[in-house]
Structure 1
Amino acid sequence: MPHIDGFVIPVKSARKAEYVAMAQRMIDLYRKHGATRCVEAWGEGIDHGARTSFPRAVEAAQDEAIVFSWMEFPDKATSDAAHQAVWSDPEMDAMMQTDLIDGKRMIFGGFETVLDVR
């Protein structure tokens, strides 16, 4: 079963087009290094829960949207190698010089697929 890397990121709502353009460049890099599927989903109608929620988890401000994204790899080894290659790439370094993403508030992690029903 594939390995999934998931991310929850707050992004300024007014900068959606800029985020999508940057995400496309990141996807191109990850696909080059073994990602088989990449999904970027822009939050719509996400409640700010009383105790827990995506907005609370990333300390989203009123003017921020929640982005939920994931990448699929054949296995964890491919994922690990892709992350190392991408984060060593000068293009990625240049993309991270922007204030578009606050990495301190991003949630991310790797997951072993146990069910995949389509």
Structure 2
Amino acid sequence: MANYIDGFVLPIPTSRLSRYKRVVDKVAEIWKEHGALAYFEYVGDDMILEGTLSFPEALGANKDESIVFGWVVFDSRETRDRANEHVAADPRMHDLLKPLTDPSALIFDGRRMAYGGFKALTLSQ
């Protein structure tokens, strides 16, 4: 059976990556409590391939921002849908995300995040 994933990519101020990571480590545990099989976030390292639109370009990232690419793995879309509801209602998430979205020291801007749910097209290991 193929898994279902939520994928996302977003810019984060490079100077605030360590603070973001501390929050994400806690966020990942909450997602797993609510049904995620795995949670991954990676920071961009090699972002340019000639002839293609890069993630920084697509997101309008500034030179002082890093690109974070992540995905959350679920056993099915149904599990993902339930997890999304539970995570959105979990007060710990609100407490964790509040400092990241403070306008005076914005780290995470959801309007600049690309997101989507994905079903398997091909599986190869």
How does the TM-score come out when normalised to structure 2?
Answer: 0.87
Specify which of 111, 114, 117 is matched with residue 118 of structure 2. Answer: 111
Match for residue 100 of structure 1? 107
Identity within the alignment, %: 33
> Which contiguous aligned blocks of 4+ residues in structure 1 show a shift greater than 4 angstroms?
48-51
Match for residue 87 of structure 2? 86
User: For 1:1-118, what aligned pairs fall within 5 Å after superposition?
Assistant: 1-47=2-48, 52-97=53-98, 98=100, 99-118=106-125
Count of paired positions: 118
How does the TM-score come out when normalised to structure 1?
Answer: 0.92
Give unpaired runs (5+ residues) of structure 2: 101-105
Give unpaired runs (5+ residues) of structure 1: none
Per-residue CA shift, 1:15-36, capped at 9, x if unaligned?
1211111111110010001110
RMSD of the TM alignment (CA)? 1.6
Per-residue CA shift, 1:54-89, capped at 9, x if unaligned?
112211111000000001100001001111111111
